[in-house]
Homo-oligomer: A and B are copies of this chain.
Amino acid sequence: MTLQQLFLFQQIVQNDFNISKAAELLNMSQPGLSRQILTLEKELDTSLFVRNKNRLTSLTNVGDVVFQLSKDILNKIESIKRLGEENNFPDKGSLTIATTHTQAKYVLPKIIQQFSIKYPFVKLRILQGTPSDSSKMVANGSADLSIATKPIEKISNLFFLKCYEIPRIIMMPLGHPLNKIKNIDLHHLINHPLITYDFDFISRSKILDVFFNANLNPNIVLNAIDADVIKTYVELGMGIAILPAIAYDQKNDKNLRSRTASHLFEPNLIYLGLRSNDFVSRHSLNFIELFAPDININNIQKEIFQVESI
């Protein structure tokens, strides 16, 4: 079994099980490719592909597991290669950050700017999605790190570091009746329609749970995916929203009013997510250093490879 075989196997799967197509893409002869797969199958003494009328049509059960393992193996091989490169060209490289709209718009700009001044030759990239998306992007290698709340579902090969807490506010239009109430509590909130994050956001469930635990059933009129969209509808008078404090921008949000909700809801917990059991690139560490100076970057790589001994 060779890495080359696993790589070629993977390529065929990703090219619709078409050996000829994959061979062309890889600039190699079709028989050469075919032979490598046959050799691999012979060594494992199992067919990896389901063959139908002289065509490959799908993966066998074994093939499927081998495919998953191969992906992981080849990702780690890439890590090793990058590790070598990075050691020789410490200035260059790239850094891909997966995050949410709120972080990308309200938190990251300053840091990103600082980073690109300090490390001008690093290619930066921001990928955006829900917290779950961000985690998955890190887990499958498309991003180096994520900055978001924890994802709703457990993603086991991620490693999270707590970065900071963002208190929550109640966002309402100017002139909204809640403006006049001094000590806002849940019973006041429940009288107004609520605009909230979409289902993929853990913030959503945390906020709703507070209502539910008080036996209150808020009237959710809209589920939206980002703070700006939510704000737009709040501005239109469709309802109020519970948002992270940073989403309120005093300059631009002239038609909105923000009031603290810290006494009602737990703050938003923002985590930095890294792939566990993998190499943490120098630039990931550099970024973390800027972004969360409290975190000791010297221990991160060790912690990422936790399992030792016994």
Contact = CB atoms under 8 A, between A and B. Distances in A.
A161 to B, nearest CB: 12
A73 B77 contact: yes
Contacts of A279: 65, 69
A13 to B, nearest CB: 13
A277 interface: yes
Given A87-B62, A276-B156, A310-B136, A81 B305 contact: no
Interface stretch (A23-31, A39-47, A101-109, A173-181): A39-47
A155 to B, nearest CB: 6
A79 B80 CA distance: 20
Nearest to A43: B84
Nearest to A140: B307
Contacts of A242: none
Contacts of A69: 76, 79-80, 83, 277-279
A128 B259 CA distance: 55
B3 A307 contact: no
Contacts of A45: 84-85, 87-88
A133 interface: yes
A137 interface: yes
Contacts of A76: 69, 72-73
A66 interface: yes
Q: Top 5 nearest A-B pairs by Cβ distance?
A: A44-B84, A156-B276, A139-B307, A68-B305, A46-B87
12 contacts: A1-B3, A46-B83, A62-B87, A66-B80, A70-B80, A133-B310, A136-B308, A139-B306, A154-B306, A155-B307, A156-B276, A157-B277
Interface of A: 1-3, 43-46, 62, 65-66, 68-70, 72-73, 76-77, 79-81, 83-85, 87-88, 129, 133, 136-137, 139-140, 142, 153-159, 276-279, 301, 305-310
Given A70-B80, A157-B276, 9 more contacts: A2-B3, A65-B279, A69-B79, A72-B76, A72-B277, A139-B307, A156-B276, A156-B277, A157-B157
